[in-house]
Structure 1
């Protein structure tokens, strides 16, 4: 009789052992850290789309070049961010925010006109200013070391992009 009870107990132990690794997976980041990772990802998506649009629709070579730089840099930042999100169990959004999409659309409506470059530069200045504030908030208040480290790594890149579009004037670096 005792032998019959041990077999089901052994099976249950083996089955629960198969599921145990999920129990030991990394805990999700705190609210501040999770919000930062998601918002930074959406900013990267928005900047990549804006950079690609500038490469197609900008009137000046400077804006086209800055657009190309944004695409390259934000792809790299986002690849690192995606890897980090996987490690800390943060699910990423699949698109920029509705506000970011609306701003990109408003700039795109000026494609083929003299106003495109000015609108693009103004949108990029606003977006990078907002992203820089988000980064600074994470550096100041974040609790997850890996997330704050990613913010610190991204800060000089975003600051450089802001310098490239500041004041509605295009500056290549």
Structure 2
């Protein structure tokens, strides 16, 4: 070693101390590397569950459909109540979808580029109508859609794995519930069923249970026929005359 051109000879003790320092530094660096590698590997391998992925994709499609429907209310000759509700849906679902999209990007979940075929079909029908007919279909379809979204959220909260995906569901839950309650109030004011949907009777595939009046009415003719049949043998076979 030289200090300002003057050769300096290190003793064996100094050389040993320098070597020990180098070894300690190498050991620390190795331990840090070992600690970091497993964590990085875990992050690379970890992926959202099928439930988390399905929820994010379906909720995104629901948001897109509600945003499109909210825009339609502003273009149509709808009632002021429907316009106000549509504007609220547009704002809320846009905000919810921005958060959802960020979470999906973080989890590397590919989101669909459009609403479902069923949602697109309903939107197409809404585009072709106006006035009271538009108001009625807007309320009826939205009742169904929000009920489906509430079930979607409940399933994610119960079966989801990733905390970020579950947070999306948790944040959306009170908003969707409030929308559904607003739709119920509007449906009642319009004289529509507050239970949601305009599905025809028996559309769900379950047989309808007749009311008590219908059951008793349908049963009366059978009872009278049976009584008539039971009386017929008496008239056809009179008692023999006594001698």
Task: Normalising by structure 2, report the TM-score.
Answer: 0.58
Task: Check 1:31–1:58 CA distance in 2 against 1; reply closer, same or farther (3 A cut).
Answer: farther
Contact map agreement 1:121 1:170 (CA 8 A) in 2: no
* Greater relative contact order (Cα < 8 A, sep 6+): 1
Task: Report the equivalent of 1:104.
Answer: 123
Task: Report the equivalent of 1:51.
Answer: 70
Check if 1:143 corresponds to 2:161: yes
Helix, strand or coil: the match of 2:110?
coil
Shift of 1:47: 0.3
Which has more helix, going by share of residues? 1
Figure out how many residues of one structure are paired with residues of the other and give that number: 150
The root-mean-square deviation of aligned C-alpha atoms, in Å, is 2.1
Check if 1:89 corresponds to 2:108: yes
Task: Report the equivalent of 2:136.
Answer: 118
Q: Where does structure 1 lack aligned partners over 5 or more consecutive residues? A: 1-20
The CA distance in 1 between the partners of 2:171 and 2:188, in whole Å, is: 24
Indicate the structure (1 or 2) with the bigger Cα radius of gyration.
Answer: 2
The CA distance in 2 between the partners of 1:156 and 1:23, in whole Å, is: 34
Q: Alignment partner for residue 85 of structure 2, among 46, 59, 66? A: 66
Shift of 1:144: 1.2
The CA distance in 2 between the partners of 1:60 and 1:154, in whole Å, is: 27
The CA distance in 1 between the partners of 2:175 and 2:77, in whole Å, is: 22
Task: Normalising by structure 1, report the TM-score.
Answer: 0.80
